[in-house]
Amino acid sequence: MLKIGEFSKLSHITVKALRFYEKEGLLIPASVDNRTGYRFYASTQLETAAKIKSFRQLGLSIDEIKSIFFGEDVKKILFEKKNELRKLQQKTELQISAIEFILEEKEMKYQVTLKEIPEMIVYSSETVLTRYEDAMRWIPSVGEECLRLNPGIKCAEPPYEFCEYLDGEYKDTNIRVRHNEAVTTFGKENEHIKFRILPAAKVLSIYHKGAYDTIGEAYAFIVEYAEKNGYEIAGLARESYIDGIWNKESVSDWLTEVQLPIK
């Protein structure tokens, strides 16, 4: 029989870990001295200790090791662990790629984040703008029209409002745009206001500060970022206006979030 210290040395497992494995029912001492509380292990238990250590080095959790010891198919658990590690590997590679992309930039003007947008109800309206700046006057009128049509309708919390440009190319004038705002319920429609379910989406997000005539820089940056980091664009870009003409006197303080749906 081996004292716990001797067993620790032979198994290359700390005494603290052995006590933890005992508590979890993975490696219980062969005997315990009732008077002193000393724990003794059989030499045959070194094989069990080696299995635990091996499984831990593979990244298996205590619960997963317990499942194996209690008869669950070890290949099934290892296959699931392999898939989990593959996903982690892909995420790590994307993180490294993103870091390299940022390091290549001379100036970190934009910081990219990945967001999960849940499914929601939105009301939408489409129009043709003479200039991009006209959106700032058109959007409030859309909200007023929807409210007149649906008194008491409530916006979702947190609020989510954005525009999509529908032309498929840059245009200086006669710009087709769709405005969307998340609400809690469907409402009445007319020729301008329509309700729909907006599916859940993953988006890359950056914030652009300043006038809208320079927002093309933000689009160029986020599209290049997506391409270099292995993302596939999965829909129209979204512009969400945080600050603008309605609450900021200086154009330099206007803040717009650009979201690019990806998969």
Three-class HEC string of the chain:
CEEHHHHHHHHCCCHHHHHHHHHCCCCCCCEECCCCCCEEECCCHHHHHHHHHHHHHCCCCHHHHHHHHCCCCHHHHHHHHHHHHHHHHHHHHHHHHHHHHHHHCCCCCCCCEEEEECCEEEEEEEEEECCHHHHHHHHHHHHHHHHHHCCCCCECCCCCEEEEECCCCCCCCCEEEEEEEEECCCCCCCCCCEEEEECCEEEEEEEEECCHHHCHHHHHHHHHHHHHCCCCECCCCEEEEEECCCCCCCHHHCEEEEEEEEC
**In the prediction, which pLDDT does 247 show?**
84
d(CA 66, CA 228): 42
How far is C-alpha 197 from the chain's CA centre? 21
**In the prediction, which pLDDT does 92 show?**
82
**In the prediction, which pLDDT does 102 show?**
64
d(CA 207, CA 25): 52
Torsion angles phi and psi, residue 165, rounded to 5: -100, 125
**In the prediction, which pLDDT does 106 show?**
47
Mean pLDDT by 10 residues, the chain (263 residues): 93 94 94 92 94 93 94 93 88 73 62 90 95 84 94 92 87 90 96 95 91 82 87 91 82 89 92
**In the prediction, which pLDDT does 244 show?**
78
Per-residue CA distances from 111 to 71, 98, 197, 208, 221 (Å): 49, 10, 29, 10, 10
pTM of the model: 0.59
Q: What is the residue whose two structure tokens read 């081996």?
A: 2
